[in-house]
Amino acid sequence: MLRMDAPFGGWGASIMKKIIIAIDGYSSCGKSTMAKDLAKTIGYVYVDTGAMYRAVTYYAMQNGLFPEEGIKEAELKADIDAGKINISFKFNAETGRPDTYLNGVKVETEIRQMAVSTRVSPIAALPFVRALLTQQQQLMGKEKGIVMDGRDIGTAVFPDAELKIFVTASAEIRAQRRYDELKAKGEANLDFDAILKNVQERDYIDTHRETAPLRQAEDALVLDNSHMTIAEQKEWLISEYTRRVNS
């Protein structure tokens, strides 16, 4: 059983070598929750790169660049080139998590809305959007001491990351987790089969896009958490982290 009596970062954040931890994997497999928790435990910075793709999507929606007919790519690219989209994170002491800001305005709640979730995949497939965000993510990791989660962190953003984890779980189990999560939020009329279909569709889009598709890096460790508890998962992560910083 893992015990965490001392604040992990305080055990020698200054003397322990700092590394980059890249966590990639399918949607709804608990990546963000585990990455956030790991970062907090070891005193690292946590970056949710999905939030950055969501923020660009929200920008496009707010600025009339994502009408029914599809994305106005040229206009979006022009805004990106003109430096009109600035994404940042600020730690929220109340929630213990970083909030996402778009051009100085907190958009943490807005970017989690269904309207954004259903539009983010095509935005995340645009090469010029990926180029911008990849560059910003690489800057964030310059000093190391970072846990970053997404789809292409170990393959495109930090191919040299010291610890790469590829998280997976069966589509049925992920759909069941989503179902339970939505039910707990009070959503009525939930249809398990529709949720499962959505999970499978997102898997397909994430793994089949041309630029930086979701795939397991050759040197990534696979974490199939289909039948793992949160505590077992954490113990596994901490032991892999400890092995890396001591090697």
Binding residues for ligand DC, per CB under 6 A? 27, 49-50, 53-54, 120-121, 124, 150-152, 206
Residue 117 beta carbon to ligand DC: minimum distance, rounded to whole angstroms: 7
Closest approach, Cβ 76 to ligand DC, in A, equals 15
Q: Smallest distance, Å, CB 22 to ligand DC? A: 10
Q: Helices then strands (H, E): number in the chain?
A: 9, 8
For ligand DC, which is the closer residue by CB, 37 or 152?
A: 152
The b-or-e profile of 90-119 (16+ CB within 10 A means b, else e) is eeeeeeebbbbbbeeeebbebbeeeebbeb
Which residue, 20 or 124, is less far from ligand DC as judged by CB? 124
| CA neighbor of 29 nearest in space, from 228, 163, 201 | 228
The CB-of-243 to ligand DC minimum distance in angstroms stands at 25
For ligand DC, the closer CB: 8 or 153? 153
Crossing angle (nearest 10°) for helices 192-208 and 171-184:
120
> Is 53 or 241 the residue whose CB approaches ligand DC more closely?
53
Q: Residue 184: CB partners within 8 Å, gap ≥ 6?
A: none
